[in-house]
Amino acid sequence: MSIARRAASYAALSTALAVLATALVAAMPGARAWAVNARGGVSATEIEEPEPTGPPGKARLVNGRAIAPSNAPEAVRKVIAAANRIRTKPYVWGGGHARWWDRGYDCSGAVSYALHGASLIPSPMPSGPMEGWGLPGPGRWITVYANAGHAYAVIAGLRWDTAGNTSGTGPRWHTSLAAAAGGRFIARHPAGY
């Protein structure tokens, strides 16, 4: 067998094995699939997790800190963890818009900070533009409510808001989902959540 024919046989066998491995691994949830890349090598790609079918869990509020439900996706856990980091900061108009870590946060700065914790938003947004962010309507895990003058979010069943506090103002978790600030709000959500 010539060298060229042997090389072609090895290339065909390599491709066939990569296809077989992809099919076998794709059947395993949370695993990596293998694909032949343009240079003939093999590379790993993430397999998407299936959509959860049960109802989303509800976060618990313990001493002002939200505790993510056990069935929350990793991104939701990251949003909750980010919000918890600033949950005692004061309200500062424009806070959280010039830099992520600030001395205080306004409504949209606090929502932006939480969403940025899971890389769901690349930079802080004022409340008005949040009316067009993400996808329309309420989300399964995260919903941002915005109008030209205020923004807040409902994350895993708790409201993340700078309005309606009983002890000071600033970004805080609330068990009541009703907006403390009046007005009509547009509901938006990140894709998949």
pLDDT digits (tens, 9 = 90+) for 46-57: 434 445 555 688
Within-domain flag for 54: no
DSSP single-letter state for residue 117: T
The alpha-helical segments, DSSP class H, found in the chain are 3-26, 74-85, 107-116, 127-130
Within-domain flag for 69: yes
Q: pTM, whole model, 2 decimals?
A: 0.71
Q: What is the dihedral of CA 77, 82, 83, 89, to 10 degrees?
A: 160
What is the count of structural domains for the chain? 2
**Greater model confidence, 35 or 133:** 133
pLDDT digits (tens, 9 = 90+) for 171-184: 999 998 877 666 79
Q: Which domain holds residue 170?
A: 60-189
**d(Cα 33, Cα 24) in Å, to the nearest integer?**
8
pLDDT digits (tens, 9 = 90+) for 107-129: 999 999 999 999 999 999 999 99
- CA terminus-to-terminus distance, the chain: 57
Within-domain flag for 175: yes
Q: What is the pLDDT of residue 18?
A: 41
How many C-beta atoms lie closer than 10 Å to residue 50's C-beta?
Answer: 8
Within-domain flag for 55: no
Average pLDDT over residues 17-22: 41
Question: In Å, how far from its chain's centre is CA 23?
Answer: 29
Within-domain flag for 82: yes
Closest CA to 80 of 179, 191, 155: 155
